Structure 1
């Protein structure tokens, strides 16, 4: 394997960082001992820029190429999300009813039916409220996983190597 470029990122299937490489886990490194690497990374991934700088941290993250308004080192997204009412798409719930006269005294397991006496049971009424408990919100308000299908490997960055030529 040829010498890597300094700051080159590779995936490894084993559980250790090879010599000259470090895990992409946000580790802070001292600038005075890693000047060339600092010239390439700067503080895009953290650090104070005077004494230290951070390696990228891909734990629980999906790497993404810069662009579309995202700069190098930006982080976005969350692993779990709780939807709020405005985030739920508009939708309807059909209510089934019959035009036949009802013949059951209990509502459980049955559908709405016409009343024996015509009193506009299905008519339109202004400012009409339904009996409490007739309809309501559902859900527990708990967060759900927001992660795409994945399989984990170790991402490492070359902390020793050839300084990459650039124009």
Structure 2
């Protein structure tokens, strides 16, 4: 491994941070023992700036560059955004239908749709459709149970992260000081 730059962030597949590296887990570091790193990071990731400063917290996050691109909102150094889980509200779910197909007795497919809270029956055989083909069944139609087509999800949050592989980010505490051109 070549000598890193101070503040360089790398990923390591180990269960520990290598020598002269620290996990990017948002921890506070003393300025007195890490003056070179503090001169590069400042308090962009936390700390009081007099006795300590914070390292970036990349646990469960993806790195993103500062600034902005066409059609994107500006991002500042040290800013975190997004959420690991999200609860959708009804306005965010597109309108859609749930169709079901049932069989009654003989092997004839019946398409059943909800109309006015009741099931309507239309037989589909040989490419023809006849509304209420089984008129003797209309007296057997019953109202749909309210829970059958109600909202679901119980406002529970769903996973919102892109696919990931857990490999920790580590930052170099010591090494070559980067030149400022």
After superposition, the C-alpha distances for 1:22-81 in whole angstroms (9 at most, x for unaligned) are 111111011122111111001111111122111111111111222321111110111111
- Written as runs of structure 1 = structure 2, the 5 A alignment for 1:124-143 is 133=146, 136-143=150-157
Which residue of structure 1 aligns with residue 174 of structure 2? 160
Which residue of structure 2 aligns with residue 31 of structure 1? 31
Which residue of structure 2 aligns with residue 118 of structure 1? none
Q: 94, 112, 132: which one pairs with 1:100?
A: 132
Give the deviation of 1:137 after TM superposition: 2.5
The question of 1:149 aligning with 2:154 is answered no
Q: Under a length normalisation based on structure 2, what TM-score does the superposition of the two structures give?
A: 0.71
Partners in 2 of 1:36 and 1:25 — Cα distance?
19
Which residue of structure 2 aligns with residue 124 of structure 1? none
| Greater RCO, CA 8 A, separation 6+ | 1
CA RMSD of aligned residues (A): 2.3
Residues 58, 159 of structure 1: CA spacing in aligned structure 2 closer, same or farther, 3 A cutoff? same
Q: Which has the higher strand share?
A: 2
Partners in 2 of 1:159 and 1:141 — Cα distance?
43
Q: Which runs of 4+ in 1 moved over 6 A?
A: none
- Written as runs of structure 1 = structure 2, the 5 A alignment for 1:108-123 is none
Q: 88, 91, 109: which one pairs with 1:83?
A: 88
Give the deviation of 1:87 after TM superposition: 1.8
The question of 1:66 aligning with 2:80 is answered no
Give the deviation of 1:8 after TM superposition: 0.5
Q: Under a length normalisation based on structure 1, what TM-score does the superposition of the two structures give?
A: 0.76
After superposition, the C-alpha distances for 1:104-126 in whole angstroms (9 at most, x for unaligned) are 23336xxxxxxxxxxxxxxxxxx
